[in-house]
Amino acid sequence: MITENHCIQLDQNDALATLRQQFALPPDTIYLDGNSLGAQPRAALDHAQHIIHQEWGTDLIKSWNTAGWFNRPLSIGNELAPLIGAQADEVAVTDSTSVNLFKAAAAALHLQRNTPAHAQRRIIVTERSNFPTDIYILEGLSHFLNDGYELRLVDQPADLHSAIDQDVALVVLTHVNYRTGYMFDMVELTAHCQAQGALVVWDLCHSAGAVPVDLHAANADFAIGCTYKYLNAGPGAPAFIWVPKKHQPHFTQPLTGWWAHQSPFEMQTNFKGAPDIRAALCGTQPIISLSLVSSGLAVFKQTTMAQIRTKSLALTDLFIQLVEERCADHPLQLETPREHAHRGSHVSFAHPHGYAIVQALIEHGVIGDYREPHIMRFGFTPLYTSFHEVWQAVDILKDILDHQKYDLNLEKNAVT
């Protein structure tokens, strides 16, 4: 049996332990929801003050040039690039994940329509258990293209191979599933898609900053993802889109705002798309929220994704083991793969009263979250989650379960 002392010992041996000081975390709280909203880097406060007071308030319009606002979606994209195996000038931090998926998927379908052997393909594959916005965006895109596109929703990871056949134009997969934490083998699946002539968009919302990602090693086509989860960029901070050099010359997407123009300030009356990553931009970005993405990324420069991954697996292994040892009498069902190769950085357990239990945990200072149906989700963020917190969280969970300290009459909130 694992002891509390053992967990305390793990913290003492943790090379990343000191990074926690760089985050403002509330007292008496065990925050296991960095997979939904990352914690606040302390530096973000001064950074915001600088942007508001100096760049906006004092330098005003000049900051578009002097502070580099105009280039910021790309300069921050370059800061993010190493975390996902992207090269320089391949990543833009801009818009929302949903909007970026729309762009990437539209661009991929455009490429296929212009490839004679693939021009008639009309199937788009994704998982039924994908985060709904991905499915909705693909639905919206298909509907508006009004050209026979159909979604093929796959029920199980094991069914993906056979579902991706030579009728498929596009595959959109979330690398780490938002509910279960299941992680796909990006290299293997990308190769399969491409062998079938399909293009693939990887959604990295639960991967970027959570697990090592090497888009170039996988020879992936496109990727998108958010920055406000493991990258700690702030609530709703702009998302990213990756367009590798190989696809940039032919990248064209319908949201052809002026930021995607090759010469935006010449005020031409015809759109001429930039031949580079700028083609993935659209309109003016929210500079304050965008800038704070840098405060989140700054912490990653002090470690490596390999170190983060090692600690992440140790944290999730510990949590699974402790729950299974200490809460064995309760109907908890592990939804997350035990195999490291298929596990992201969060762990989900199903329980028939999952919603009420999560609310009770929150009241007792353990912040996890709930996802339909029955899923209790716990995110582990190696930059600030300690091993002792894992012990304490399971201790509180055990107490809530053992003594039924949860209210089955709770109404579900809009966001949980």
- The C-alpha angle with vertex 26 and arms to 23 and 30, in degrees rounded to 5, equals 95
Is 355 one of the annotated active-site residues of the chain? no
Is 229 one of the annotated active-site residues of the chain? yes
The answer to the question of residue 266 lying near a copy of itself (CB under 8 A) is yes
Nearer to a copy of itself, 223 or 260 (CB): 260
Q: How near is the Cβ of 203 to a copy of itself at its closest, in Å?
A: 12
Is 149 one of the annotated active-site residues of the chain? no
Is 377 one of the annotated active-site residues of the chain? yes
Strand partners, 369: 377
Q: Are 92 and 244 in contact (CB under 8 A)?
A: no
Sole binder of a copy of itself in the list 141, 200, 277, 297 (CB under 8 A) = 141
Site string for a copy of itself, 34-53 (x = CB under 8 A): --xx-xx---xx--xx--xx
Q: How near is the Cβ of 410 to a copy of itself at its closest, in Å?
A: 13
The residues in 281-340 that bind a copy of itself, with binding defined as CB under 8 A, are 282-290, 292
Residue 373: cis peptide before it, omega within 30 degrees of 0: yes
Q: In what order do the strands lie in the sheet with 346-350?
A: 333-334, 346-350, 375-379, 369-371
Instruction: Report the C-alpha gap between 401 and 108 in whole angstroms.
Output: 48
Q: How near is the Cβ of 200 to a copy of itself at its closest, in Å?
A: 20
The answer to the question of residue 20 lying near a copy of itself (CB under 8 A) is no
Site string for a copy of itself, 96-135 (x = CB under 8 A): xxxx--x---x---------------------x--xxx-x
How many residues contact a copy of itself, by CB under 8 A?
A: 97
Pairing of strands 123-127, 150-154: parallel
- The C-alpha angle with vertex 334 and arms to 413 and 372, in degrees rounded to 5, equals 25
Name the CA radius of gyration of the chain, rounded: 22
Nearer to a copy of itself, 37 or 204 (CB): 37
Q: Residues near 276 by Cβ (< 8 Å), separated by ≥ 6? A: 89, 248
Instruction: Report the C-alpha gap between 291 and 300 in whole angstroms.
Output: 16
Instruction: Report the C-alpha gap between 348 and 372 in whole angstroms.
Output: 11
The answer to the question of residue 79 lying near a copy of itself (CB under 8 A) is no
The answer to the question of residue 33 lying near a copy of itself (CB under 8 A) is yes
Q: How near is the Cβ of 31 to a copy of itself at its closest, in Å?
A: 6
Of all residues in the chain, what percent are helix, strand and coil, respectively (each to 5)?
45, 15, 40
Is 398 one of the annotated active-site residues of the chain? no
The residues in 221-250 that bind a copy of itself, with binding defined as CB under 8 A, are 226, 228, 234-239
The answer to the question of residue 260 lying near a copy of itself (CB under 8 A) is yes
Q: Which residue of the set 20, 121, 179, 229 is catalytic?
A: 229
Q: How near is the Cβ of 101 to a copy of itself at its closest, in Å?
A: 8
Nearer to a copy of itself, 207 or 253 (CB): 253
Nearer to a copy of itself, 39 or 305 (CB): 39
Nearer to a copy of itself, 33 or 221 (CB): 33
Pick from 409, 398, 321: nearest CA to 364 = 398
3-state secondary structure of 267: coil
Phi, psi (degrees; rounded to nearest 5) at 69: -55, -40
Give the catalytic positions in this structure.
131, 203, 228-229, 377
